[in-house]
Each structure stands twice: as structure tokens, then as C-alpha cells.
A = this chain, B = another copy of it.
Amino acid sequence: MTPRTGLWLVGARGGIAATVAVGLAALKQGAAATTGLVTEGPRLGPLVERLDPIRWDSLVLGGHDIRSTPLAEAARLLENQNGALPHGSAAAYADELAEADRRIRPGVAFRSGPAIERLTEAGCLHEAATPRAAIDQIRADLEAFAADNSLDRVVVVFLGSTEPPVDTASLPARWEELGKTLSDSAGCPLRASSLYAIAAIEAGMPFVNFTPSLGSDCEAIDELARQRAVCHAGRDGKTGETLLKTVLAPMFAERNLEVMSWVGHNIFGNRDGEVLDDPEHKATKVHSKDAVLPPILGYAPQTLVSIESIRSLGDWKTAWDHVHFRGFMGVPMTLQLTWQGCDSALAAPLVLDLARLIDLAQRHGEAGVVRPLAGFFKSPMGASTSDFGAQSRELVDWVASLNGAAS
């Protein structure tokens, strides 16, 4: 019998989560093409298929959120944002969305920053006395989800709004020490995203951080993951402008063309954009988008990444990139790009792919950071390269090796 798998989304009422919920309902009914799903694509698809991956029709959704907007309303909003979801989606899958709604629990918002605090609704927040108490509550929710729905396995994906940066220099390198800070709200250096990560790992459930927030990206939490033999991956889904950078920069390197400056200006108008409009939160995202070039180029050109919230654009991320480079005899040249992408529609299939792939890693006995997933992230943990082509190869090679092990 097909094992039943659970997909637990933190930020379960947000734009990406709503798109995941609609898309999954459509996939279950055979109403959606598999466009955008890497694990259904021509290269990876056949390799993944042989590993008996999560089946869309046996996947059960649940999650945490700090707001109460029903998923159908979130979906309708996307429909009305210039078709970020096909029209009629919310209506067509009203039952599935309502069902998923019932499995969403109040979240925790420890040190989440001013913009997230403004989002929080009464009744949607679990107020815990200490970080440790918060973790235990999260873990209890996760385990109840598994039990109530007779799930064989659960994957946790963090899709919560972007938190302010954490001063990583101040984090203890060993789990033993970091763990101690959890009982003291004042002394704990972590934010909510990391509490979710710890809870998932302690529950033995693989954890994916799709956001630029810290999550599990520190030595101590990775140590915990390896101790518990749990897989984790992340940081910050690579869906648009940064994806293009990691695709194009290798060309400049191969051709020995010197990038003098690379400017990226991003505008969009959804809730994510609103949160990022707060300078404390924005710092986290800009940092994540801005670090990819030097490892590819071998030097650091002047770069500038700006992100601005323009309400009329809704979920449509528009990014203008201006690359100024030098060729033979020093002749200066220019490449400009305009990317007009729908952020949630770009992100949602990757969330499903990551659930599948980290589940495969976990089932094949891996633990700690799953490095071959680097290509999915802007700031991949422990990545050997930022070159998207190279990352894609590593992913294929890894899945092929799982096949090898399996046979």
C-alpha cells in the first residue's frame, strides 16, 4: 500500500502555501500539468520515478500560521492579481482548501521582527513561556498531525515571512550550548524559524527552509540533525532574479569577460513584499541575493540589489538587471534583463519537489545537510558551487546514485 506522507507548511496561509494547496488539489484530480515541477521534468523525472517518490495523491497538507485568512481567500487574492492562479481555482478546489484549513494550527513568533508582529492575529499565536516550550508545542502539533492522519512520514517546509538577520557570530557552535539558551527567552539568540527547525528535527522529520531566515543554517542545529539522523536543507528558494544570476554569471566567467557591475532592482506587491519593505527584514533578503557572484566570477564586482514593494504588482515580481561588463581591449558592453514572474507559481512546485527529494534522502539514510539540493536555494548550506548548471548536474548525479544504491 502507498505510504501516506504529510507535508507540513509553516506559513500555511501565505501565498506560496495557497499555491501549493491549489496545485496539489489540481494534480490529484489530474487537472494540472506538471509544468514547473523539477522532479517531473525530462531529466530528473525518470530517475526520481524509479525511487518510488511521494505520490501527489497520497500527500496530506497541514501547517502553522499566525493569521486566520482561509486558504480559499488567499487563493482568490492570487487569482485576482493578474492571474497568479488560474481563474476559478479557489472555487474549483473549495473542499480541498477547506480541509487543509482545518489542519492549520496557531504558530509561534519568537523575535520575528516588527513586520511579522504587525501581521499576527489574535488567536493565531501560541504564546510560549520559553523557546523550549515553543519547540515542544510545535513538536506536539507535528506529532498530532502524523497520528491524526495516519501518516507514515512527514516533511516540514518553512515558508514563514522573512525574519530580521541573526548575528551568526554570536551563535554557539555546539548543540549542547545552543540548546541551553532555549530555556531563557532573554538570552536565546535564535528566532522562530530556528525553533521550527529544532522541533522538526527533534521529531525526526526532515526540514526544508525555503526562506532567507536562519532556520537550521548554523553549526549547532546541523549537529543536532546529524545526531538525530535527520535531513535538512535550505536557505531561500531560488526562483527568479538570483536564479538568472547563477545561470548567466558562469557565461561571463567561461568567456573571460569582466563584470564591472551588476545591478538588480526588484519590485513586487504581495505580503512578502510588504514584510520585506521593513528595513530590518529586508536586510536578510538582500544579503541572500547579493552573495552569489564572487564565488562564480572569482572576484567581486560592484553589486547592488534593491527590493521595493509596489502594491499594484501583487504577486508579479518584476526584476530589472543591468550588467556592465568589459570585453577584449577593454570595450565596455551591457546586458539588461527584465524578469516578469509570478512569485508563488515559481516557488510552489519547488516546495513539492523539495518535499519529494528530502524525503528520498531521509529514506536512503542520509543525515544533516542534503548538499545536492543546493541548486534550489539562493544561499545553499554547504554548497560546493553557485553555478546553476553545475548544481543541476550534481542533483542529477545524486539521484542517479540513489538509484544505483537502490538497485
Contacts and interface: CB of A to CB of B under 8 A. Distances in A.
A341 interface: yes
Contact of A312 (B34, B332, B337, B341): B332
Given A254-B388, A327-B341, A302 B306 contact: no
A34 B262 CA distance: 21
Interface string A34-46: 1111101111000
Interface in A245-268: 247-248, 250-251, 253-258, 260-261, 263, 265, 267
Interface string A9-53: 000000000010011001000001111111011110000000000
A333 B341 contact: yes
A243 to B, nearest CB: 7
Contacts of A338: 334-338
Nearest to A255: B38
A140 interface: no
Interface in A352-389: 375, 387-389
A254 B348 contact: no
A388 B34 CA distance: 26
A147 interface: no
Interface string A55-70: 0000000000000000
B312 A324 contact: yes
Most chain B C-beta atoms within 10 Å of own C-beta, residue among A43, A79, A345: A345
A337 B334 contact: no
Given A265-B320, A310-B304, A338-B338, A35 B326 contact: yes
Interface stretch (A84-92, A101-109, A226-234, A279-287): A84-92
A346 B327 contact: yes
A313 interface: yes
A40 B308 CA distance: 33
A253 B324 contact: no
Interface in A79-130: 79, 82-89
Contact of A345 (B22, B26, B40, B331): B331
Contacts of A313: 261, 324
Consensus secondary structure, chain A interface: mixed
Contact of A251 (B243, B254, B329): B243
B328 A256 contact: no
A215 interface: no
Contacts of A337: 335-338
B256 A40 contact: yes
A350 to B, nearest CB: 8
Number of copies of this kind of chain in the complex: 4
A205 B82 CA distance: 40
Interface centre among A88, A312, A322 (most CB of B within 10 A): A312
A366 B157 CA distance: 53
A210 to B, nearest CB: 15
Contacts of A263: 265, 267, 308, 310
A162 interface: no
A337 B341 CA distance: 14
Interface of A: 19, 22-23, 26, 32-38, 40-43, 79, 82-89, 243-244, 247-248, 250-251, 253-258, 260-261, 263, 265, 267, 298, 302, 304, 306, 308, 310-313, 318, 320, 322, 324, 326-342, 345-346, 348-349, 375, 387-390, 392
Given A36-B327, A387-B389, 16 more contacts: A19-B329, A33-B330, A36-B256, A42-B253, A85-B331, A244-B248, A248-B248, A254-B392, A265-B265, A265-B306, A312-B332, A329-B345, A334-B338, A334-B340, A334-B341, A336-B337
21 contacts: A22-B329, A33-B330, A35-B256, A35-B328, A36-B256, A38-B255, A40-B256, A83-B331, A83-B332, A87-B87, A254-B375, A261-B310, A302-B311, A318-B322, A320-B322, A327-B346, A333-B340, A334-B341, A335-B337, A336-B337, A387-B389
